[in-house]
Structure 1
Amino acid sequence: MKATDIGTSHDPILPEAGHRQFEEDGFTVLRGLFRQDEIAELNREFMAMSGAGPIPGHFEPRQPETVDPSDPLHRYPRVLHPHRINDLALRFLLDPRLRGVLETLFGEEVLAAQSMFYFKPPGARGQALHQDNMYLRVEPGTCVAAWIACDVIDPDNGVLEVVPGTHRMDLFCPEEADAGLSFVRDYVPPPPGLTAVAVDMEPGDVLFFNGTLIHGSQPNRSPDRFRRSYIGHYVGRSAQRIGSYYHTLSMGGDPVPLRESEGASPCGTEFAPVAPH
């Protein structure tokens, strides 16, 4: 799906057309919100982090002698909550350009709840269709993701897919995903009559989507292209509860604790690693 260009880095406030698309479809794209040099700096930072080795609780690559060495995600797992250990990641999470859009979408002050960086190297599995608020368990309401493209992203290297309209629905009980296609266990099939559509993106584009929207990605089938992305999850200030894994911050960086909700977990439960043959 080619989303309509609705803004640039010089126009960070979400236009009416983008707000309307978010209300109707559950997502919208703001093109070029971040500059190319900003994205290049973010990529350099995380590639350097990956080369420096494990960071317990955040970035934990597995040794090739203990897992299937052909799975590139063992070398390049996602980085969880990098904003807690890296100043640049924190600046991106709390960026005023994101804040302006998010306040329009929520209609109130926003709090930052989570950050993640996905390397998704060539040959990596995707993430089966799922709903983010299944894991964050924001109450009342839901979360909103700001999904920042750090590479050219298209169907060859694992484009993100969304199921428009599912943001109006409840959370679904997930089925088990195909472990050959997805590194996480949960799979939420599109409801009858609805289909997943791809959202092609360029570096610096930001996809905003509702925490109940069904979305996911296919494997990276390209021979030599990463599909890197930086993701922040946010909640409205009126939210009262969230999972204990998530520690909410004001967009100024101050802790704003919420009460704990039940049933929460890190975003996506991974399959157990496969041992080498």
Structure 2
Amino acid sequence: MRLDDFHTRGFVIVPGLLSPSEVLSLREEFMRIHAQGPIPGHFSPTPQEEGQPYDVLRDFPRVMHPHQVNALALRYLLDARIADILRTLLQEEPIAAQSMFYFKPPGARGQALHQDNFYLRVSPGTCVAAWIAIDKVDRANGGLEVVPGTHLMDLFCPEDADTSLSFTREYVPPPPGLERVPVDMEPGDVLFFNGSLVHGSEPNSTSDRFRRSFICHYVGRSTEEISSWYQTLTMSGEPVGIAAATGGGPCGTEASGPH
């Protein structure tokens, strides 16, 4: 791991942090969760809309905060290897804020370019994501794209996204002079990135490959505010109180909940 990449480009990949057997256990656990059906407040497949084109994300929505209801998800949210890297990146003790699992099956829409701290509303500073690849990640199956340099900038007020390509509504165009960069990954690789880094993904254009990922967000112990959607934990699993963010944020609207 090159620490300088995180500070100069806004992201760093740690190859093979999780073993093949650990990746398999996460993949199998979340496919089991999908097969068993809804978990109110966390995982909610919805019927297809009559007269509308088939939307695979209605069958495979993301799982929100699975660590609150699943022991394996909690274990990896609080993983000691991730915690050690976060201490180096943050230069302070990390606090766990969120977990998510994305299935992104063949044909799924992507997520328009955005900044995580638009949603988490961490202050002072920002959040850090640990994005764990569960499948091979490349351009074809909708791998991440990042815009290096934006981690040094303030939050941008989003434009409307093209919802035929993105399942979210907010879109942040790359600032003039900056370009999106693809991030290809192998299963078990972990991408750590700054919460102000503009990033997103295109649709999964394959016919036979998922792009599953387990994603966690963290803040530093010095954080004073975070959106009220997030129930924070120490890396030993103890609840820790952080005040709810107040006001509407830089764009004059409330953040749209967990992202």
Class of the TM-score when normalised by the shorter of the 2 chains: over 0.9
Give me the CA root mean square deviation: 1.1
Could you tell me how far apart the structure 2 residues matched to 1:21 and 1:251 are?
A: 24
Correspondence 1:52 to 2:36: yes
Could you tell me how far apart the structure 1 residues matched to 2:19 and 2:57 are?
A: 28
Aligned to 1:10: none
Normalising to structure 1: TM-score of the pair? 0.89
1:177 corresponds to which of 161, 167, 177:
161
Deviation >6 Å, runs of 4+: none
1:154 corresponds to which of 129, 133, 138:
138
Correspondence 1:115 to 2:106: no
Could you list the per-position Cα deviations for residues 151-205 of structure 1 after superposition, in whole angstroms to 9, with x for gaps in the alignment?
0000000010000010000000000000111000000000001010100000000
Runs of 5+ unmatched residues, structure 2 = 247-253
Aligned to 1:128: 112
Could you tell me how far apart the structure 2 residues matched to 1:183 and 1:265 are?
A: 13
Could you tell me how far apart the structure 2 residues matched to 1:195 and 1:175 are?
A: 18
Amino acid corresponding to residue 131 of structure 1 in structure 2: Q
Give secondary structure in 2 for the equivalent of 1:157: coil
2:6 corresponds to which of 17, 22, 31:
22
Aligned to 2:239: 255
Give secondary structure in 1 for the equivalent of 2:177: coil
Query: How many correspondences in the alignment?
Result: 252
Could you tell me how far apart the structure 2 residues matched to 1:146 and 1:267 are?
A: 16
Aligned to 2:182: 198
Displacement of 1:64: 2.6
2:85 corresponds to which of 80, 96, 101:
101
1:140 corresponds to which of 112, 121, 124:
124
Percentage of pairs with the same residue: 62
Aligned to 2:65: 81
Could you list the per-position Cα deviations for residues 6-32 of structure 1 after superposition, in whole angstroms to 9, with x for gaps in the alignment?
3xxxxxxxxxxx210101000000000
Correspondence 1:266 to 2:257: yes
Aligned to 2:198: 214
Is 2:78–2:96's contact at 8 Å kept on the other side of the alignment? yes
Could you tell me how far apart the structure 2 residues matched to 1:127 and 1:266 are?
A: 16
Give secondary structure in 1 for the equivalent of 2:223: coil
Give secondary structure in 1 for the equivalent of 2:129: strand
Is 2:229–2:258's contact at 8 Å kept on the other side of the alignment? no
Amino acid corresponding to residue 230 of structure 2 in structure 1: Y
Could you tell me how far apart the structure 2 residues matched to 1:129 and 1:253 are?
A: 31
66 and 81 in structure 1: CA distance in 2 versus 1, 3 angstrom threshold: farther
Aligned to 2:148: 164
